[in-house]
Every structure is written in C-alpha cells, then in structure tokens.
Amino acid sequence: MAIYLPELDPVNTQFPVAETALDDPNGLLAFGGDLRPERLLSAYRQGIFPWYSEGEPILWWSPAPRAVFLPDKFRPSKSLRKFFRKSGYQVTLNKACHDVIRLCADSRGPEETWITADMMQAYQVMHNLGYCHSVEVWQDSTLVGGLYGIQIGTVFCGESMFSLADNASKIALWLFCQHFHAHGGTLIDCQIMNDHLASLGAVEIERSPFMQFLQQQRDAILEESCYQPRELHQ
C-alpha cells in the first residue's frame, strides 16, 4: 500500500509536526533535507531524529511510545556495583567523542549500522559546537565501551552505545545517569524500546507527555559544568 511521506525543504529547517508520523512503520515522519547542525537541532527540539541506511535518503522519525530513562531512578544492580569496583575500568566524559561514534558504528557492522560516514561527520560537528556528548569506558587505556547523544536543554537524546568488554555500556549509562542528574538533567531519551534497554530499566511513555515534557525542558539550562571533560566516579 502506498504511503505519503513529506519531503523536507532543502533550505528551510521546518519539520512536519511529530503527531503526523506514521503508525507503520512506527514514527516515520519525513525524508530528505540534510544533516547540518541547524536542521539537527530543529529536529531534536521537536522529538525527531534521523535514522537511515547507507544509500537511502535521510529518513526522519518520531516514534510512539518513546523509550526513556529517568536518571534519578536508575539503580544499578548489586552485581554491577561489585563488578565495577573490581573491573579497573576508568569512565570519562567527552574525552573521545569521535572514537565512541565510530565504535558504535563498527560494533554493529556495515550491514546493520545506521551510523553512516555522513552521520559520523555530522555528529562530530555537533560535538565541536557543544551539542553532542560522549561517555567513554577505558580498560588499560583501551576504549571498551561508551555512549553518545545530543543535549537539548535538560534532556539528553541518546543515539547509540557499544560494549567491547563485560558490562561496559551498562557502566557508562549508570555513571552518566548519576552525573547527569546531579547537574540538573531530567530525562534520557532512548527513542525505541528493545530488550537491552528494558533490561537496564528503560520505560515507555506516550507521545503526548513526552512532547509536553520536551517542550518544557528544551530551553532549560543545565549546570554549566555538566559536560566539561572529566573522569566520572561512582
């Protein structure tokens, strides 16, 4: 069955409203446009993100329900706490954003990743501008896990995570939740629920409350020091 999908204007960064996204496939909203910072910021401020494969036009999504973490509610298991104490892992913030993005892509392989070369370049530009942030997990000076995403007010829009060693991505998320909440962060958007996110404690919320919360928080201000490069501690 044919579907109608709006094409974005190559100059104007406006999007269709998220409520007009398709139910099947869930959240597909528009196609086209580009990945310049102005458009990406406009998208994330409206609960929209790009997700497409190499060789496809850029596809823009706003699924419902939305998978999120409440950073003040994240509770690591006793076994994860014990593992971290013995692991020797070092966890840092904004020390190697480009490497985290690259490894998020590499860990899925060329056939599965949506993190194309253009996406990597676009999010590195966003990092240089102070909007894209990363958490890194190191083992003996080797990067073994991490995550990255976009800051919109007090909301962190998570894009991807990877783990090359036991529990590395879980520890990245745990310590980031702790740090983010302490500096005024209110919500971590993880877009679409899956078994891994559910196992970590993600919950689903419907589009209307998600959009209302995003609109309330997208111009709120975090503590200035929140994303300064540093080591994160339990």
Mean pLDDT of 5-19: 95
Q: What are the distances in angstroms from CA 117 to CA 11, 52, 76, 95?
A: 22, 12, 34, 21
Which residue has better confidence, 3 or 102?
102
pLDDT of res. 234: 84
> What is the pTM for the complete model shown?
0.95
Q: Does the pLDDT of residue 110 top 80, yes or no? A: no
Instruction: With cut-offs at 50, 70 and 90, classify the pLDDT of residue 11.
Output: very high
Average pLDDT over residues 6-24: 95
Domain map (residue ranges) of the chain: 7-63, 67-232
One fold for both 7-63 and 67-232?
Answer: no
CATH number of 7-63: 3.30.70.3550
Q: Please state, for a pLDDT cut of 70, what percent of the chain lies above it.
A: 97
Residue-wise pLDDT for 173-215, tens only, equals 999 999 999 999 999 999 999 998 998 999 999 999 999 999 9
Nearest to 64 by CA among 23, 30, 31, 29: 23
Say which residue the tokens 């044919």 belong to: 2
pLDDT tens-digit readout, 117-157: 999 999 999 999 999 999 999 999 999 999 999 999 999 99
Which distant-in-sequence residues (6+ apart) come within 8 Å of 46 by Cβ? 15, 17, 18, 62, 214
Class of the CATH domain delimited by 67-232: alpha beta
pLDDT in tens, 80-104: 999 999 999 999 999 999 999 999 9
Helix, strand or coil, per DSSP, at residue 195 = helix
